Amino acid sequence: MSHPPYLCTGTLGRGPWDEKARAASAAGFARLSIYGWEHRKLREQGWDDAAIRSLLDDLDLRVAEYDGVVMTMQTPEGAEDAVAAAAALGARSITVLEHSDWQPGAHLDQAAATLAVIADQAAEHGILALIEPFAWSPLDDHRVAAEIVERADSPNAGLLLDTWHLWRGPEHGQVDLAIDPAMIKAIQVGDTGPDPVGPPTPEEIAYECIHHRLMPGDGHGDIVGLLADLAARGVDAPLAIEVFSDELNALEPEVVAHQSMACFEELKARLAL
């Protein structure tokens, strides 16, 4: 895992993205993600893409993933605009999510065809198209997502693995050995609280996800063991800190950014990266 660390924008709360960018840079991060809605808000505030790129250059910062932009795998409709927006900021990847009630696992060929179209559009700009399974989605299983990537057969399509969703999803923190390590092209790291008493509802999982994630090492997930296992399998992907937390939201972005970098450095030391 030889890539520079990056920070997910949600870790720094919901303040202005340009302030988050300054905080991330001050803490030593090389990349920061951006949500599609944050990009649109910047434009509404008078930032054009050239000004955003200029800010990034001044901060020696790059956009990691352009997040939350492809919201269903049922159709590639709208993906072309999302890819163009990501390309305008020089993003490394776009995130493909399933936020509808559609069941990709029951329609693998259709989901794969959609991903292939998105990946082809992204490839024209040198951008990766990464599926992110999440715990209350119809696509909550990395094994299903890997099958979709395999069927799509596009070299720039892959998986974004979020450790929080891995623990709260059906895999319970374990990455199936059948998943090709080369498919995992980014890893977001966050920790979970103790296992819920009884099966949680999707609403409970979503609430915990947005309000009560923990910094890696502060919870009950074996983050170091998981990352060591993935590295031993040959996974070589950027690591990001993604922790949505009401407690962190109460702090200044630069404080959280420095905490995040300290957390990354501790992970790096424990993994001997």
Nearest Cα residue to 202 out of 172, 169, 171: 169
- Cα within 13 Å of Cα(204), Cβ side: 10
Q: For residue 93, give the DSSP letter.
A: E
31 vs 214: CA distance, rounded Å:
21
What average pLDDT does the structure give for the chain?
95
Distances (CA, A) of 12 to 17, 130, 212, 255: 9, 22, 14, 9
Mean pLDDT of 170-198: 92
Tell me how far apart the alpha carbons of residues 273 and 268 are, in angstroms, rounded to a whole number.
5
Amino acid at 138: P
Which residues have CB under 8 Å from 226's CB, separation 6+? 163, 166, 173, 175
Tell me whether residue 271 is exposed, middle or buried, using C-beta atoms within 10 angstroms of its C-beta: 0 to 12, 13 to 18, 19 or more.
middle
Of 31, 67, 7, the C-alpha closest to 257 is: 7
- The 10s digit of each residue's pLDDT in 231-251 is 999 999 999 999 999 999 999
- Report the predicted TM-score, pTM, of the whole model to 2 decimal places: 0.95
Length of the chain: 273
Helices within the chain (DSSP H only): 17-26, 36-44, 49-59, 79-88, 108-123, 142-152, 163-168, 202-211, 223-233, 246-249, 253-271
Kindly tell me the burial class for residue 122, based on how many C-beta atoms sit within 10 Å of its own C-beta (0-12, 13-18, 19 or more). buried
Q: How far apart are the C-alpha atoms of 129 and 121, rounded to whole Å?
A: 9
* CA geometry: angle 135, 208, 254, nearest 5 deg: 110
Residues 1-51: tens digit of each pLDDT: 578 889 999 999 999 999 999 999 999 999 999 999 999 999 999 999 999
**Sign of the C-alpha dihedral, residues 13, 15, 17, 18?**
negative
Structure tokens at 145: 């997502």
Residue with tokens 């992204």: 122
Over residues 76-98, the pLDDT tens digits come to 988 999 999 999 999 999 999 99
- d(Cα 263, Cα 135) in Å, to the nearest integer? 24
What pLDDT shows up at residue 273?
Answer: 59
Measure CA of the first residue to CA of the last residue in the chain; give whole Å: 7
pLDDT of amino acid 197: 63
Residue 161 has pLDDT above 80, yes or no: yes
Distance CA 247, CA 4 (A): 26
